[in-house]
Structure 1
């Protein structure tokens, strides 16, 4: 459907290194640069092919009525490549695409949860006002291995009627690849789009 010498030093020098690090103010530490997507790296070449995942889902309704009803669905991502996918991570999001100035996404009015099988309970995903977040999973995905995640979501009352919403509920799989000598991230999704109904 429709993220990868050994050097001898004198004892005196080795003892001073921790002191020098401790003396540096924390504000001097530069933030780690954000890793580019492989699509960004690909812009100059046009040869990168994202054919690592097969995604499928079951249970996302075609139409979602605003209110308190939860909609449960299962999303699966399978590594269909011959490569072991490293630094693999999972996240999910419920939102809508925004195309025009003045429009807004539905995520602030959505709730999203995943099923924690170990604790046998639903866990809420939210970052700021967005219905999104990371989901525990394997750190690598070998060829032909799959991950299955059970999710549920709802869209609450209060969403504006004055625009249309290109809405979706997606599970994202991301791993670190290396392309043109640069480490970059590749993602794909499992899930579906849906329509909204106010009454």
Structure 2
């Protein structure tokens, strides 16, 4: 499924292979203690989604937002216990299904499988501003990257008052990847 989607839409699939279980483990380790409700952006074929379920995040406390309709259908079939919503991460607060999810309780973290590094400043700004609007000041945005530093333009980090901390790295992914946690400046891990 992943390879077929990559062939059809190489620019919208930010990776050359699905995320490994080792990267998924680093994502789980980066979640703040006590995280119960999560929104996942760009779940793809569900590597991080499955890891969060195995970690103990309840299916009704996990919402996955997927841009690709074929991947959304695939995930709905594979993981019927979670909400898999078709939508654009740039309009996260405007998505009615996301709003309904928020009505049921606060979101503690957003896990992102999006290729932020390849996005322009405006897109990064829209995604991150919307994410922190939903999570509030204490939220954590967990992002992986293949690059050597925080995958967000420094101006976007400054404008939104964010700080980034590398929380993990794995060589056992193709390519090797780092995990960063973005938070509002001054908020502790």
TM-score band, normalised by shorter chain = under 0.3
User: What is the TM-score with the length of structure 2 in the denominator?
Assistant: 0.23
Higher normalized helix content (fraction of residues): 2
User: What is the TM-score with the length of structure 1 in the denominator?
Assistant: 0.23
Q: Considering only CA atoms, is the larger Rg found in Structure 1 or Structure 2?
A: 1
Structure of greater relative contact order (alpha carbons < 8 Å, 6+ residues apart): 1
Higher normalized strand content (fraction of residues): 1
